[in-house]
Amino acid sequence: MSDANQNAGPSENSDLHSAMPTETIKAIPLRHPLRNLAAAVLLVVSVSFLYDASHREIYDWATFTHYLFNHRVLTGVVVTLELTAYAMVIAVLLGIGLAVMRQSPNPVLKSVAWTFIWFFRGTPVYVQLVFWGLLSTVYPSITFGIPHVGDIATIPSINNLSLFVLAVIGLSLNEAAYMAEIVRAGLLSVDRGQEEAAKALGMGWGLSMRRIIIPQAMRIIIPPTGNEVISMLKTTSLVTAIPLTIDLYMATRDISATTYKPVPLLLVASTWYLVFTSVLMVLQYFLEKRFARGYAQMGLEVQVTPLEGNGAG
């Protein structure tokens, strides 16, 4: 049969179809010379830096390994982790409270929350920590009483508050201001229809918050909160302003003050901070996955390392 014959009439349309090529395309892929060059340059620079670092005397890797698991360093690690955990838990709870207050129809609750956020977000955390350190100087004692009637109770001194407690208070109040904004963004991201649907089913405010609104807001709240936890882990190094001097950073500073080798001890501190920020990133990955339930089809994939989801190359 000739080609002309095959294309003769409409009744032979199916032949037209089968005449089309069906094998998989095997084209030469597009080259990316500039991209590859940039990658090569970065690779060379990175390898040279690592090689140099491993031989450079001032890094003093012997001292680094000697102090990495030093008792004082490990105690500092524990203090830093405790500060981070306590401060974040308080900050999240306080932040949820502030976020809810900001949405309240009551003008006093609203303004108090706004002012709290304005103040604690608007002043440096270092300055706030110095202030908390001076608390017992500023308020030697606190007395509750009614004018013209008399005193009811006096707290003689806040001196008894340990530096650790002051550090937790200072860090958490500052962080609460940021958490309030994150939680507020999360609550606002949930469609109003959700609250109405919950109401229409007879759910009260607390129940609909707990079961319907907050679980959905979590998807928006978790990524920036993970950021805040990582940030908090590092901000704890500022508690020296209180002055609390037993955290990870100050422990390594103290050691280097006697060994005169600041660089390897800075590396010790950095290593521990990196270890725990890495752990936090993995935790965040699983939390994000947990709260992405029901949203999988919307292309909201969660990525923890740069080598994931990189199929396109």
Partner 1 sequence: MTTNSQFMVQAQNVHKNFGAHEVLKGITLNVTHGEVMCLVGPSGSGKSTFLRCINHLDVVNGGRLLVDGELIGYRDGGEKLFELKASEAALQRRDIGMVFQKFNLFPHLTALENVIEAPIRVKKLKRADAIARGKELLTRVGLEEKFDSYPAHLSGGQQQRVAIARALAMDPKLMLFDEPTSALDPELVGEVLDVMRELANSGMTMIVVTHEMGFAREVADSLVFMDNGVVVEAGKPAEVLFNPQHDRTKAFLSKVL
The Cβ of residue 184 has, within 10 Å, a number of other Cβ atoms equal to 22
**Spatial CB neighbours of 6, under 8 Å, sequence gap ≥ 6:** 12, 15, 16, 19
Residue whose tokens read 């609460």: 176
Cβ-based nearer residue to partner 1, 76 or 186: 186
* Least CB distance to partner 1 at residue 288 (A): 13
Cβ-based nearer residue to partner 1, 203 or 266: 203
Size of site (CB under 8 A) for partner 1 = 25
Are the C-beta atoms of residues 145 and 151 closer than 8 Å to each other? yes
User: Binding of partner 1 at residue 202 (CB under 8 A)?
Assistant: yes
With CB under 8 A as the contact rule, the residue among 74, 81, 158, 203 that binds partner 1 is: 203
User: Binding of partner 1 at residue 29 (CB under 8 A)?
Assistant: no
Cβ-based nearer residue to partner 1, 32 or 199: 199
Cβ-based nearer residue to partner 1, 191 or 308: 191
- Nearest residue to 221 (alpha-carbon basis) of 281, 175, 180: 180
User: Binding of partner 1 at residue 212 (CB under 8 A)?
Assistant: yes
User: Binding of partner 1 at residue 295 (CB under 8 A)?
Assistant: yes
Beta strands in the chain (DSSP E): 142-146, 150-155
Tokens of 122: 């608007």
Tokens of 176: 């609460």
With CB under 8 A as the contact rule, the residue among 297, 307, 312, 313 that binds partner 1 is: 297
- Nearest residue to 283 (alpha-carbon basis) of 296, 268, 302: 302
**Which of these ranges, 65-73, 162-170, 210-218, 225-233, lies near partner 1 under the rule CB under 8 A?**
210-218
Q: In whole angstroms, what is the distance from residue 101 CA to residue 109 CA? A: 6
* Least CB distance to partner 1 at residue 207 (A): 6
* Least CB distance to partner 1 at residue 287 (A): 14
With CB under 8 A as the contact rule, the residue among 21, 293, 306, 307 that binds partner 1 is: 293
With CB under 8 A as the contact rule, the residue among 140, 145, 156, 294 that binds partner 1 is: 294
Whether omega for the bond prior to residue 156 falls within 30 degrees of 0, making it cis, is: no
Q: In whole angstroms, what is the distance from residue 298 CA to residue 300 CA? A: 6
CA 299-301-306 angle, 5° bins: 135
**Window 142-201: residues binding partner 1 (CB under 8 A):** 191, 193-194, 196-201
Strand partners, 172: none
User: Binding of partner 1 at residue 298 (CB under 8 A)?
Assistant: yes
User: Binding of partner 1 at residue 205 (CB under 8 A)?
Assistant: yes
**Which of these ranges, 75-83, 135-143, 172-180, 293-301, lies near partner 1 under the rule CB under 8 A?**
293-301
What's the alpha-carbon Rg for the chain, to the nearest Å? 30
Which residues are at the interface with partner 1 (CB under 8 A)?
A: 191, 193-194, 196-205, 207, 211-212, 215-216, 291, 293-298
